Amino acid sequence: MTDDAQVPDRNLALDLCRVTEAAALAASRWMGRGDKEGADGAAVDAMRHVLDTVTMDGIVVIGEGEKDEAP
């Protein structure tokens, strides 16, 4: 039998899907406005907000970053 401490109480993959969904929904509100930076900012803000609710210890190691001065 497995130790109860080893059984996860949530699915990290599903939590990260929710992060992606929140970013996509936030960016979608900017469609057709011609404001790429506004859409990027809204997506990043939503992503950070939902990531703050995910119980994990990690570091983001990829992203747009300096490519086009994304937020």
What's the token pair of residue 1?
């039998």
Number of domains making up the chain: 1
Burial of 45 (0-12, 13-18, 19+ CB in 10 A): middle
Q: Residue 20 sits in which domain range?
A: 9-67
What pLDDT digit, counting tens, does each position of 13-36 carry?
A: 999 999 999 999 999 999 999 999
* In the predicted structure, residue 11 carries a pLDDT above the cut 70: yes
> Could you tell me if residue 52 is inside a domain?
yes
Per the CB < 8 A criterion, the answer to whether 25 and 49 are in contact is no
For residue range 38-56, list pLDDT tens digits in order.
999 999 999 999 999 998 8
User: Is residue 41 included in any domain, yes or no?
Assistant: yes
Length reported for the chain: 71
Instruction: Tell me, yes or no, whether 18 lies in a domain.
Output: yes
What six digits make up the tokens of 53? 């609710």
Q: pTM for the whole thing?
A: 0.74
